[in-house]
Structure 1
Amino acid sequence: MMNDLIISNELRIRKTDSEDLDYVLATEQHPESTDFVFLWSREKHLASISNQDHLHLIIENSDRRHIGYFILSGRTSPNSCIELIRMNMSAKGKGHGTKALRLLLDYLVHHLHVHRVWLDVMETNSRALHVYRSVGFKEEGILRECIKTRTGFESLIIMGILKSEWHDCDKSEP
């Protein structure tokens, strides 16, 4: 398929198309996601899909069933830095997110020649923090109480991984 970017024995990562948006929107609204993922409108997702600076990607299992998605920004950056805006899995706690992130990092480093990937994550999102640390992301700083939530203010942890760090890490798995 033309939209396929990454294929492994267990997972397939491909460009999102408009037919995938019902899944993406439903995944954002899942109770386990709403505390950590800001809801985007269908129009905002459509704009991201067509934005040359973004990569909006669907993660599928070997049966071609949707299990998550990524949104990245910075594809056209002259600094070779890409932001992982969003990683959201509908199949949580099964290890698919970690495997998909390893595949994505390998693709970004080896095919797009990205120097640095960075993200921000809510300090209370222990599941995501575990995944990011497990693939080699390092904490770079904290934006204290910068997000207003239903329960108060939340801090964001800035994390990043450099190409040289990924080469150290990628020998263990994808």
Structure 2
Amino acid sequence: MRLRPTMLSDLEFVIGVEQDAQNRPFITPWERTQHEGAVRFPDFRHFIVEAGPDFASAGFIILQGCRNPHHSVELKRIVLQPKGQGLGRDCVRLLKRMAFRDLKAHRFWLDVKSANIRALALYASEGFVEEGRLRESVRLDDGRWESLIVMSLLDREFDARRDAGAELSE
């Protein structure tokens, strides 16, 4: 697996993956112009995930806050296909290293829909700590409300995990 910067020519793929029925329940899709902004604006990092023997496009990732003066980097979006092949875990591990080593983050954080049990378990197993809930903060297509769970990992927690052998080495 590898990441490469998203090009404007990749946005049809990005929007297609976002609109896929397997992904829609877990994200709030963006308009194309929002993705264009994330590709162009230096505070963001927008990547295509390439995986498999031929490094085919397997999803995308967005980081936000890459120039945040408080060193707080957000994992804004991670959308992958196919599911269940360990790509999510591989991406999260790579992104933690990128956030703390390359972007010099003090805090790496995300929010995740409360119904996304699989993602919640992944983030917890990768050292992210639940900070709180944004109760009924997202309105779903069917009119129901869903809460977001805010999770984060601090640089000292990442360093302790790395020292204990729980993180990828350089």
- On whether the aligned pair clears a TM of 0.5, the verdict is yes
Alpha-carbon deviation of 1:87? 0.8
Give 2:29's aligned residue.
39
Whole-angstrom CA distance in 1 between matches of 2:102 and 2:34: 27
Whole-angstrom CA distance in 2 between matches of 1:84 and 1:109: 12
Give 2:14's aligned residue.
24
Give 1:134's aligned residue.
125
Whole-angstrom CA distance in 2 between matches of 1:165 and 1:60: 28
Gaps of 5+ in 2: none
Instruction: Please give the TM-score of this superposition, normalised by the length of structure 2.
Output: 0.91
Residue type matched to 2:22 in 1? E
Give 2:145's aligned residue.
153
Give 1:8's aligned residue.
none
1:91-106 correspondence to structure 2 within 5 Å: 91-106=82-97
Give 1:167's aligned residue.
159
Whole-angstrom CA distance in 2 between matches of 1:111 and 1:34: 31
Residue type matched to 2:28 in 1? F
Residue type matched to 2:16 in 1? A
Residue type matched to 2:90 in 1? K
Give the alignment's Cα RMSD to 1 decimal.
1.3
Which stretches of structure 1, 4 residues or more, deviate above 3 A after TM superposition? none
Give 1:109's aligned residue.
100
Identity of aligned residues (%): 37
Give 1:120's aligned residue.
111
Number of residue pairs matched by the alignment: 164
Whole-angstrom CA distance in 2 between matches of 1:172 and 1:67: 25
Whole-angstrom CA distance in 2 between matches of 1:161 and 1:116: 6
Alpha-carbon deviation of 1:169? 2.5
Whole-angstrom CA distance in 2 between matches of 1:173 and 1:160: 16
Whole-angstrom CA distance in 2 between matches of 1:84 and 1:124: 18
The answer to whether the Cα contact below 8 Å between 1:138 and 1:160 also exists between their aligned partners in 2 is yes
Alpha-carbon deviation of 1:110? 1.2
For the residue of structure 2 that corresponds to 1:35, the secondary structure is helix
The answer to whether the Cα contact below 8 Å between 1:143 and 1:158 also exists between their aligned partners in 2 is yes
Instruction: Please give the TM-score of this superposition, normalised by the length of structure 1.
Output: 0.89
Gaps of 5+ in 1: 1-10
1:74-89 correspondence to structure 2 within 5 Å: 74-89=65-80
Residue type matched to 2:48 in 1? I
Residue type matched to 1:168 in 2? A
